[in-house]
Amino acid sequence: MKKALLSGAVLLFGLSISLSSVTAQGPAGAGASTAAQESSHSASSLNPIKLFKKDSKNTSEPLQTRGDYETKLTPKMQAEGLLGSYSSLTEACTPYTELYDCLAGLHASHDVGVDFNCVRAAVTDVHTTANISNCKVADGDKQLSLAKAIRALKPDTNAKQAAKDAEEQARDDIRAAQE
């Protein structure tokens, strides 16, 4: 009895999957484009996600992309001496997933006096074309936090405080770019 119920459930499940893939393909034959347009219209009008989706046009803060921030912050970083005059924030921050982390790394390397390429390699574990042969932690097998990277590169500093200060400076930079 249990085997019959189990095999019936498996058969029903398999049949429902095969039918859903057939219906997902849409109608075929004469008038298929008209039917497809009608079915896509009715399906989208019943989508519950669209009912509760936030309208980005009504937000008071303008949406900016990472590229906008990088373009806006590059001259500031060059003026502060965090970036060379011929380099951009886009080039420096490519291995980072978050711009905030890159800015914190730039500030920390400048404040503590270590090479940014070493900090970037330790924090992201991505090796770029930059020369990192003199870095102590560049060939690690995992990513380090900013504080651990600073501690490894310059053990005589208060790495935790340096990372905290650099992260605060990065937050200030992003706030300034939003204005």
Written as one string, the DSSP assignment of 66-110 is HHHHHHHHHHHHHHTTSS-TT--HHHHTTT-S-HHHHHHHHHHHH
- Which comes out higher in pLDDT, residue 176 or 60? 176
Residue 10 has pLDDT above 70, yes or no: no
Residue 71 has pLDDT above 50, yes or no: yes
Q: Tell me the C-alpha distance between 123 and 34, whole Å.
A: 54
- Which pLDDT does position 15 carry in this prediction? 62
- Which pLDDT does position 24 carry in this prediction? 47
Q: Tell me the C-alpha distance between 118 and 139, whole Å.
A: 10
Q: Tell me the C-alpha distance between 89 and 165, whole Å.
A: 20
Residue 28 has pLDDT above 80, yes or no: no
Q: Tell me the C-alpha distance between 121 and 131, whole Å.
A: 10
- Which pLDDT does position 41 carry in this prediction? 47
**CB 166, CB 145: distance < 8 Å:** no
For 97, the token pair is: 């997933």
User: Over pLDDT 70: what percentage of the chain?
Assistant: 60
Q: pLDDT digits over 146-164, tens only?
A: 999 899 889 999 999 999 9
The burial class, CB within 10 Å (0-12 / 13-18 / 19+), for 90 is middle
Q: pLDDT digits over 84-143, tens only?
A: 878 888 888 888 888 899 999 999 999 999 888 888 888 888 777 666 767 776 555 688
